[in-house]
């Protein structure tokens, strides 16, 4: 039987996410990343430029169309934390994670 990991969202992160407004993403700077174009805007996946390392990256945000239910927020945070533990050449690597002042995660 697979081992289950107990990963819970920090209460501050959950509150920030639940309060976030729907804002345009393309052209926005999120942390060290400037969003260049949508890969799958419906899924919250965007192409970005990471300024500090001068490289291309993919940014995933909680899609604006989703209802900001606590279960949705918890699942998004859990997905990020679990993906960060993967170490495989064909798996996506997590370089940064956080919430913006307006609650965008």
Domain boundaries, the chain: 11-84
Average pLDDT over residues 46-51: 95
Average pLDDT over residues 50-60: 93
For residue 65, the model assigns a pLDDT of 56
Third-level CATH fold of 11-84: Phosphorylase Kinase; domain 1 (3.30.200)
**Does residue 3 have a pLDDT over 50?**
no
**Does residue 88 have a pLDDT over 60?**
yes
pTM of the predicted structure, to 2 decimals:
0.68
Report CA-CA distances (Å) from 2 to 5, 70, 82, 103. Answer: 9, 25, 14, 33
Burial (0-12, 13-18, 19+ Cβ within 10 Å), 34: middle
For residue 98, the model assigns a pLDDT of 81
**Does residue 44 have a pLDDT over 60?**
yes
Q: Which of 20-29, 68-77, 82-91, 93-102 has the highest mean pLDDT?
A: 82-91
């Amino acid at each position: 039987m697979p081992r289950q990991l107990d990963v819970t969202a920090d209460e501050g992160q959950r509150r920030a996410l639940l309060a976030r407004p729907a804002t345009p993403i393309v052209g926005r700077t999120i942390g060290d990343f400037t969003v260049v174009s949508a890969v799958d805007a419906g899924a919250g996946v965007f192409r970005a430029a990471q300024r500090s390392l001068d490289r291309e990256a993919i940014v995933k945000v909680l899609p604006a169309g989703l209802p900001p239910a606590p279960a949705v927020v918890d699942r998004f945070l859990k997905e990020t934390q679990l993906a960060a533990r993967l170490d495989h050449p064909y798996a996506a690597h997590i370089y940064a994670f956080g919430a913006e002042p307006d609650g965008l995660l």
